[in-house]
Amino acid sequence: MEDILPFLIGCLYAGGIYLIFHRSFVKLIIGLIILGYASNLFLFTISRITRDAPPLIPDDATQLTETFADPLPQALILTAIVIGFGLQAFAIVLIKVGFKTLKTDDLDKTTSTDRLDN
């Protein structure tokens, strides 16, 4: 499992960057979502995947001696999920307003700041 995760993370990053380079707003947002998932998976992977025990120190000990799951990357991932969701919601609303105003989904055709009235 640990041998597959770097390749999966690399594929997610590559797919996200590939979609960001497209001209469509929708593909841009999907690419950002995939990059967010890749970053979260990367943080999760570097925090040493363990299923042994929670990071609790017994009363008679001063430090942990066994392997444990690090809670800090897990807290960072939860924060990143919430921030990513807020960014995605904002970008979707921005794209919807931009599409209503400019009547196009192509980034190259959105060079004008003037409103098009038809």
pLDDT in tens, the chain (118 residues): 678 888 999 999 999 999 999 888 888 889 989 999 999 889 888 876 666 666 667 777 777 666 666 778 888 889 989 998 998 999 889 888 888 887 877 777 776 666 555 5
Domains and CATH numbers, the chain: 5-51+70-109 (1.10.287)
**Which pTM was predicted?**
0.73
Q: Cα separation of 71 and 68, whole Å?
A: 9
Closest C-alpha to 32, from 42, 44, 17: 17
